[in-house]
Amino acid sequence: MIQEFLAGSLIYWLIAILFLLGIYGILDNNNFMKKLMAMNIMQVAVILFFLVLGQKSGGTLPIMIGHDNNVDLYINPLPHALMLTAIVVSLSTTGVALALLMRIQDHYGEIEEDDILRRMNK
């Protein structure tokens, strides 16, 4: 029972904890840079979740060995292909977010949320 839980679905709980850490960081931090880092943690949790869904026990990397195309021999290649692009896209969107943060820093001289909101409403 406990072994089945540890091997079968504990990783979902760990991924949920990682995701919730990201959400808590976004909600609770006041600094935009820390919010961006928490968002990246959330993104990593989503990527891990997709990769975990493609696992098969007894399967190896989705690269053909010889000409053996037995389905049980390889893990699912689809989540890997999807997440490969997601990682690179997350890199470039992080670049855009950093550029926006630099503009905010140029304009206000700080990246603290509550100060900026107060000065915007003035």
Partner 1 sequence: MKKISLLLIIIMAGMYFYAAVGLPLIGDANSAPNTHVAPRYIEKSYEETASPNMVTAVLADYRGYDTLGETTVIFIAGLATFLILSTAPSKKKEEEGGDNK
Partner 2 sequence: MNRGFGSIVLDTSFRVLVPFTLVYGIYVLVHGEYSPGGGFQAGALLAVGVVLARLVQGREAAFNIKGTTALIVAGIGTFIYGAIGFSTILFGGKFLEYGKLPFKVHDPAELHALGMLGIEIGVTICVMATIVGILDALTRGEDLS
Binding site for partner 1 (CB under 8 A): 4, 7-9, 11-13, 16-17, 19-20, 23-24, 27-28, 52-59, 62-64, 67, 69, 71-72, 74, 76-81, 84-85, 88-89, 92-93, 95-96, 98-100, 102-103, 106-107
Give the type of residue at 46: V
- Of the chain, the end-to-end C-alpha distance in Å amounts to 60
The interaxial angle of helices 77-108 and 32-53, nearest 10 deg, is 180
CB of 28 to partner 2, least distance (A): 27
Q: In Å, how far from its chain's centre is CA 86?
A: 9
Binding site for partner 2 (CB under 8 A): 61, 63, 84-85, 87-88, 91-92, 95, 98-99, 102
